[in-house]
Amino acid sequence: MNETLKVLESRRSCRKFKSEMLKEEDLNAIIRAGTFAPSGMNKQPSIIIAVTNKELRDKISEENRKIGGWNEGFDPFYGAPVILIVLADKGATPNYLYDGSLVMGNLMNAAEALGIGSIWIHRAKQEFESDFGKKLLDDLGIKGDFEGIGHVALGYIEEGGVKAAAPRKENYVYWVK
């Protein structure tokens, strides 16, 4: 089977990461793959915020935890040392949400190709609509009308961090010949 197709079939969400930081060359390759995601009319409305600073990573995790309503001490990023946050400019194109989602997919598939665990974590929309998120963007010098699409938590996989694929559902595909 083609290597790309193997990656697409084998990628699973990781919920248990090692604390070890990713190699910079691997992280750069994953981010670069995200920048090559398709976008409507090639508008490229998305941006990626790569967070490797533990202090900021933990603040984002805490904000995400609060939005999700989990108990104190829960880490919605499952201990991943890297968070890639994808946002998209709402004014660039009516397709910004779909374009940002494709960036998320490219990031996760690239991670899988390099043997790195990933998981899509939601609540980025709420984070960046909040004062916390607006301040973060301002502190980073990011201007524009951005919507949070999602977070990709990345890291090396801890034993037991990834489950086997579930069987594909019936009637997933309807052929019209």
The CATH T-level fold of domain 20-155 is: NADH Oxidase (3.40.109)
3-state secondary structure of 118: strand
Residue 1 predicted with pLDDT over 90: no
Residue 71 predicted with pLDDT over 90: yes
How far CA 111 is from CA of 13, 19, 35, 91, 100, in Å, comes to 11, 16, 14, 29, 17
Render pLDDT for 125-167 as a digit per residue (tens, 0 to 9). Answer: 999 999 999 999 999 999 999 999 999 999 999 999 999 999 9
Render pLDDT for 29-50 as a digit per residue (tens, 0 to 9). Answer: 999 999 999 999 999 999 999 9
Within the chain, where are the H helices?
A: 3-10, 24-35, 54-68, 96-113, 124-129, 131-140
Place of tokens 């397709």: 95
